[in-house]
Structure 1
Amino acid sequence: MKKSTLLAVLAVAFACKEKPKENTEEMAEEIIEVVEEPEWTTLFDGTSFEGWHYYNGGEIGEPWKIEDGSMVLYPPETRPEGANYNLVTDKEFTDFVLTMEWNIAEGGNSGIFWGVKEDEKYGQPFLTGPEIQVLDDERHPDAKNGPDRLAGALYDMVPPSAKAVKPAGEWNAVEVMINHKTNEGYIMLNGTKIVEFPVEGEGWDALVADSKFADWEAFGAFKTGKIGLQDHGNMVSFRNIKIKEL
């Protein structure tokens, strides 16, 4: 081989060997953001009322009981004037997904609240907290007062778009999302999304203005509040209560 040819071959080999590599420093600076999924927190584990108390009151006792992993309200035949046995969480929440199961007695009525503010000037959770309706649609007269009173409705504001409720005496699974970051709320009943709504701003204000709560100064006024379970004077059970903060 001629000397000039040998030099050319070596030059090509050297060039191939020294082919620029990717800039590892730049690659190292690229940060892959890992978004951790929010964790679920158990609000009721089926064994105690820890984390709950009576609205504007203290430790839970009669007429609530824990049976077979459920909290059950046995409404008294008589009660002191003005007494109520509504339950609320010890902790307040803002943006979340809430899941639970409810079982209403025949002819029964109850509800699930969020955004509840405790204060002696508010005698009931529904004065501040919007409600997801819990109802025996077949027998309770409120079901005949309009579709926004049916089980799963955002009470007196948004009716369910489909009938997904199971009959009284059977367990119904509900999922509620409240997200002020995206201004979205929804209610799912037994796996079907039946209600969607804004949670603040003009859209929310319009819903309130067109409801019985239009003149209630404190209704839906608190982004951060407690989860509540209603004593409406009827037997009702709740279980598997969990929440995921967003």
Structure 2
Amino acid sequence: MKIIKTLSLICTCAALFYCCSPAEQSQEDDWTQLFDGQTLDGWKTVMGEADFQVEEGIIIGYAKANTPNTFLITEQEYGDFILELDLKIEDLSSNSGIMARGQFDPSARDNNGLVYGYQIEADPTDRAWSGGLYDEARRGWIYPLDLNPEAKDAFKMGEWNTYRIEAIGHTIKSWINGQEVAYVIDDMDSRGFIGLQVHSINNPEDEGKKSYFRNIRIQTENLNPKPFTGDVFVVNTLKNVVTDYEKEKGWKLLFDGKTSDGWKGAYKDNFPEDGWHVEDGILRVEAADGSESTNFGDIVTKDKFSSFDLSFDFKMTEGANSGVKYFVTLTEGNKGSAIGLEYQILDDDRHPDAKMGRDGNRTLASLYDLITAKKSNRFVSPMGEWNRGRIIVHPNNKVEHFLNGLKVLEYERGSKAFRDNVANSKYAQWEKFGEAEEGHILLQDHGDEVSFRNIKIRELDE
């Protein structure tokens, strides 16, 4: 009997051993705890004067009024990693975030120091951009959650939220409570510290409000990236690159970065011989006299599109005017630029067109002469820097314009509201303007230097 019991015990132990595969055991062993649950050893506080304390195995950050953002950062820097932690916020004033590959310049701000770089957001407000990627003290929002609205409800106010952040090569991805949130391809920083933020506050009544962090662990070896399984938009700042994930979702480049293949002059058989240049991965129209399509001419895609998601980067020179048009049929026989719905590209501060039209409907990212883009200046990159535009035409004729990840307008082609706008615009003379079943994509020559890159599209199913 004793022998049988002994054999049974051995078999049970063996079964328990083999049910946990070597790969699973190895992956669990690869985690390193960044917080020992008792002290802040390995961490330091920089920039602001908010206080971080350890209480019952939790790091608690206490908000302090009239001081800059405060960061508790690791003394060690990391390159490629997978980071997991739990975060809790109990008050709307307690905006927070997690620095991933963060940077610190101790000499900035009169030697008071400056933290900058990638931050995965914790946003308790109704905006609900938690898990989005913000480039702290540098470029601003890279991945606001207007790009992934389905993830806006992942973060739970007043509850523990589990964050997962992968920073591997040029790829940064985030999850909250298992929900896929942000997907960014960017090559600005390859390594840096991990940081926990207590945001600055101005209202003394909010002083002492708490942000909570626990279970902070990291992997830096034997990394096994977790694939996104949903259909999530990718912000890809590398020049003219489409990732395998994007290809799986149907994305393709309209501009390969090397040639003018796929494009031709509007009303022409070939690409313009002068004025349009392909250099260093950029498609650029040179400056002329500022007039509309009378110099080198517009260019259009050889293909036509109906329902689509179009993304593009553009850079303006001072005072520039241009546009990206869609549903261009080239059948109107008009003079000047070909007719089509237009995503306006304009220097709002210096070009007179910004003050023309009605209620600002000729300003940057507007549906030109029809609908005004609702945008904040903080979401517009300075002149001479790149902006990211996006146009989505859904199969049901709903259309959306985005600027740097922020949705700035939407409308429905063919609706009464749309036709009323057309009737009060310069397009009133064309019957059923903007309602074609398909059309070309057009880049406008308006006599000013404007550059384009990362022009990519995917066609949407009916």
TM-score normalised to structure 2 length: 0.43
Q: What is the aligned residue count?
A: 209
CA 1:78 to 1:108, structure 2 compared with 1: closer, same or farther past 3 Å? closer
Identify the structure with the greater strand proportion. 2
Pick closer, same or farther for the CA change 1:69–1:216 going to 2, 3 Å: same
- The answer as to 2:255 corresponding to 1:44 is yes
8 Å CA contact retained: 1:151, 1:165? no
What's the counterpart of residue 171 of structure 1?
Answer: 386
* CA displacement at 1:150 relative to structure 2: 1.0
Amino acid at match of 1:69: G
Equivalent of 1:158 in 335, 354, 371:
371
Cα deviation, residue 61, structure 1: 2.5
Alignment correspondent of 2:318: 106
Q: 2:361 matched to which residue of 1?
A: 148
Aligned-partner Cα distance in 1 for 2:286–2:354? 22
Alignment-derived partner of residue 183 in structure 1: 397
Paired position in structure 2 for 1:245: 459
Q: Retained in 2: the 8 A contact 1:102–1:239? A: yes
CA contact (8 A) 2:283 2:451 kept: yes
Structure 1 Cα separation of the partners of residues 294 and 354 of structure 2: 26
Q: Which amino acid aligns with 1:236?
A: V
> Residues of 1 paired with 2:306 and 2:278: CA distance?
28
Amino acid at match of 2:439: G
* Aligned residues of 2:288 and 2:295 also touching (Cα < 8 A): no
1:11 equivalent in structure 2: none
Instruction: Please tell me the root mean square deviation across aligned C-alpha atoms, in Å.
Output: 2.4
Q: Which moved more, 1:209-218 or 1:156-165?
A: 209-218
1:133 to 344, 351, 354: 344
Which residue pairs with 2:278 in the alignment?
A: 66
**Inter-CA distance 42–109: structure 2 relative to 1 (3 Å threshold):** same
Gaps of 5+ in 2: 1-230, 232-247
SS of match in other structure, 2:304: strand
Alpha-carbon contact 2:276-2:285 (below 8 Å) kept: yes
> Is 1:56–2:272 an aligned residue pair?
no
Alpha-carbon spacing, 1:175–1:78, altered in 2? closer, same or farther (3 Å):
closer
Aligned position for 2:416: 202
Maintained 8 Å contact 1:56/1:119: no
Once residues 428 and 361 of structure 2 are traced to their aligned partners in structure 1, the CA distance between those partners, rounded to angstroms, is: 15
Alpha-carbon shift at residue 201 of structure 1 (Å): 3.1
Q: CA 1:211–1:76 in structure 2 vs 1: closer, same or farther (change >3 Å)?
A: closer
Question: Which one is further off, 59-68 or 43-52?
Answer: 59-68
Corresponding residue SS for 1:142: helix
State the percentage of identical aligned residues.
38
- Tell me, in whole angstroms, the C-alpha distance in 1 between the residues paired with 2:290 and 2:361: 30
Q: Helix, strand or coil for the counterpart of 1:160?
A: coil
Secondary structure at the aligned position of 1:207 is classed as: helix
Q: Distance in 2 between matches of 1:206 and 1:71?
A: 36
Residue deviations 1:134-191, cap 9 Å, x none?
0111111111224111101011111111223222211110110112x32310001001
* CA distance in 2 between partners of 1:185 and 1:134 (Å): 17
The answer to whether the Cα contact below 8 Å between 2:289 and 2:448 also exists between their aligned partners in 1 is: no
SS of 2:252's equivalent in the other structure is strand
One-letter amino acid of the structure 1 residue matched with residue 298 of structure 2? N
Question: Per the alignment, do residues 53 and 233 of structure 1 end up closer, same or farther by CA in structure 2, a change over 3 Å counting?
Answer: same
CA drift of 1:78 comes to: 11
More off after superposition, 181-190 vs 198-207:
198-207
Structure-1 residue corresponding to 2:440:
226
Structure 1 residue ranges without an equivalent (≥5): 1-34
Partner SS for 1:91: coil
In structure 2, the partner of 1:116 is 328
CA-CA distance at 1:83 after TM superposition: 5.1
Higher relative contact order (CA 8 A, sep 6+): 1
* 2:265–2:299 CA contact under 8 A, matched in 1: yes
Amino acid at match of 2:362: R
Shift of 1:77: 5.5
